[in-house]
Chains A and B, each alone.
Chain A
Amino acid sequence: MNTNTVNSKKAIAQLTIVRIIVYIILAILTILCLFSFYMLIINSTRSNGELQGGFTLIPSTHFIQNLVNAWNDSSINIPRGMLNSFLIAALSAICATYFSALTAYGIHAYNFRGKKFAYWFILAIMVIPSQVAASGFVQICYKFGLTNNYLMLILPGIASPVVFFYMKQYMEAVLPMEIVEAARVDGSNEFFTFNRVILPMLKPALAVQLIFTFVASWNNYFLPSLLLTKSELKTVPIMIAQLRSADYSKFDMGKVYMFILLAILPVVIVYLILNRNIIKGVTSGSVKG
């Protein structure tokens, strides 16, 4: 009896120590993740003079002023950039999500010759880096005058293997064929069934993929930077890179921080609201081991 209580006390003490260490590690990682963003927010509230003056963790009072300055900057038209980015990101998210769901449904619900091939083909192309196509794609766009055309950034999303794969897995989990058959008996044609019966059933998956594809497009830098040459058509990441290549020492640093903040803010807001769903969505689309 006695040794038992001693042992169990020892075990509890051990567990407590382990727990404390774990929380310390978590605290360090949390600081590591958040510190740079905290600095960003603090610095976006400080004037250029304050920023040159020294380091502080306490916010200042120049947030609005920096915002107005950044918003009205003549060389970097950030409101226009955000509007452009939003337009491209929203449309490509809708395109990618809708057509991936449609493709996944085509393979999930129907039996046709070549179905297996189509499935494996899509899985195989998932790992080909998009940059491999870039050279030819950019060349075609220049040749046919399709640079500065948003469609060239939106339409490729129709073929999104990763989104397809996620949708396919989701359908396997939630979509019984009986529903499709019931709709057939009820007199619905196949296209109508997909739009009115199937899509509403996929809402959670659609929402997750809309977020992911929107964020991916909003953050996308490589291809837009090669295709968008007109300044009024440029997206936010291109403007950020422009900021970097400008002689920034002449810049108002408060404004620079404000630009960065504006670039990431929409995604951060969405993330703060929907992080639970987003994190759930990360796992359900991945390959099961």
Chain B
Amino acid sequence: MARVILKDIKKIYPMSGDQKKKKAKGKKTEHKTGNLQITDKGVVAVQAFNLDIADKEFIVLVGPSGCGKSTTLRMIAGLEDISEGDLYIDDELMNGVAPKDRDIAMVFQNYALYPHMSVYDNMAFSLKLKHMDKKEIDVKVREAAEILGITEYLDRKPKALSGGQRQRVAIGRAIVRNPKVFLMDEPLSNLDAKLRNQMRAEILKLRQKINTTFIYVTHDQTEAMTLGDRIVIMKDGYIQQIGTPQQVFDHPANLFVAGFIGSPQMNMMDGRLIKKDGKYAVELPGTTVVLSEEKQARLAANDVAEQEVIVGVRPEHVILTDSGYRGTVEVSELMGSSMHVHLTDVHGKDMVVILNDKKDFDKFTTGAQIDLTFTPDVVHVFDRTTQKNLEW
């Protein structure tokens, strides 16, 4: 039972004297603050963050570095002060509560194991601080070690462990506490690709075993999509979209989300949204696609007018045709079961197409011209200036 509510939470880092002077002089401080908003109070790292996390939900905060995802997590943990807004865990205001009294556990990016303590002592440390009975500690530590398969390493020091084993110890240290909320800050980013996939699956298994509320921060969209019940996509301190993995994949709220979720990236083409016989269609050089009923309805509901738009189509949704949107093959990468073809379109923009039919593979030598089109239900239209999805 742990519901976490974030209400209008903001993080503002006060500017130092030097930065203020620079700002007054009109010099850019962008190399330090990125595109974060700078107000009189300071640099806003997290903007009015609202989120209601249900009990036992797995929430993933995802975004590029500097987007405020880690800061948000650290505010939930109590490691970072909340500048404005309220944080509730189980209806209790947590803003001024010390981390140890929030009933949370956290897994850090660099594991943060105590180097001078054995694995056992690392895991037992928090329980000892609670003055728990020694026998009880022993039971809990061994249980957690069993779940994570690190029983044989309990006497070792962290130095003597591999990256994956250290990660397990870090997780073990968190689960022995039976926390209400389980916080994870990029726990897999220091592992190699193979181990990362393996650990991702283990986190899913772990979740079924310990069934509690998870808040997970990552910059990797694959982790976000595979782990999260809901995903929160952030950029420059602002929430871009909150939704289930399917929702954010199928209905990205804006160009940023569309580009961030999915790999390879969604193709963005310059096109025009027109009304043809009362129906919305996108017009691209060489092809015109009348949109699906669902999209018609959503656009009509927003009363969208004809306009120049950015048309987004995912690489896996591009279809070959005899005469359509024209592209020139730059390179093609054979991935085994599929082929990624990199093209330049008529406007000189880069595109990627994924082909799954082996018959097509040898057609695409460098310099070949190909024609493309799209099915009505996978085309996204974005406003050119606001970059918002016009369906929203």
Q: Is any CB of A less than 8 Å from a CB of B in the complex?
A: yes
Residue numbers of A with Cβ under 8 A of B are: 176, 178-179, 181-188, 192, 197, 200-201, 203
Asked if B106 and A185 sit within 8 Å, CB to CB, the answer is yes
Asked if B108 and A181 sit within 8 Å, CB to CB, the answer is yes
Answer yes or no: B109 CB below 8 A from chain A CBs.
yes
List, in ascending order, chain B residues with CB within 8 A of A181's CB. 74, 77, 79, 99, 106, 108, 112
Total of A-B residue pairs, C-beta within 8 Å: 57
List, in ascending order, chain B residues with CB within 8 A of A183's CB. 114, 125
Say yes or no: A185-B110 contact (C-beta < 8 A), given A200-B116, A201-B115, A201-B116.
Answer: no
Asked if A178 and B110 sit within 8 Å, CB to CB, the answer is yes
Asked if B79 and A184 sit within 8 Å, CB to CB, the answer is yes
**Extra 13 A-B pairs, beta carbons < 8 Å, given A185-B104, A201-B115:** A176-B112, A178-B108, A178-B111, A178-B112, A179-B112, A181-B77, A181-B99, A182-B112, A184-B100, A187-B100, A187-B130, A188-B125, A203-B116
Give the complex CA separation of A181 and B105 in angstroms.
11
**Other-chain contact of B110, A176, A192, A201, A203 (Cβ < 8 Å):** A176
Task: Name the distance in Å between B94's Cβ and chain A's nearest Cβ.
Answer: 13
Answer yes or no: B173 CB below 8 A from chain A CBs.
yes
> Can you list 21 A-B contacts (CB < 8 A)?
A178-B109, A178-B112, A181-B77, A181-B106, A181-B108, A181-B112, A182-B108, A184-B78, A184-B79, A185-B79, A185-B99, A185-B100, A185-B104, A185-B106, A186-B173, A187-B126, A187-B130, A188-B100, A197-B114, A200-B114, A201-B114
Say yes or no: A186-B110 contact (C-beta < 8 A), given A181-B79, A200-B116, A201-B116.
Answer: no
Give the complex CA separation of A179 and B125 in angstroms.
13
List, in ascending order, chain A residues with CB within 8 A of B109's CB. 178
Asked if B79 and A187 sit within 8 Å, CB to CB, the answer is no
| Interface size band for B | 20 to 34
Say yes or no: A187-B129 contact (C-beta < 8 A), given A181-B79, A182-B106.
Answer: yes
Task: Name the distance in Å between A204's Cβ and chain B's nearest Cβ.
Answer: 11
Task: Name the distance in Å between A232's Cβ and chain B's nearest Cβ.
Answer: 42
Contact indicator per residue, chain B 156-181, by CB within 8 Å of chain A (1) or not (0): 00000000000000000100000000
Asked if B77 and A185 sit within 8 Å, CB to CB, the answer is yes
List, in ascending order, chain B residues with CB within 8 A of A200's CB. 114, 116
List, in ascending order, chain B residues with CB within 8 A of A188's CB. 100, 125, 129
List, in ascending order, chain B residues with CB within 8 A of A186's CB. 100, 125-126, 129, 173
Contact indicator per residue, chain B 101-132, by CB within 8 Å of chain A (1) or not (0): 00011101111111110000000011001100
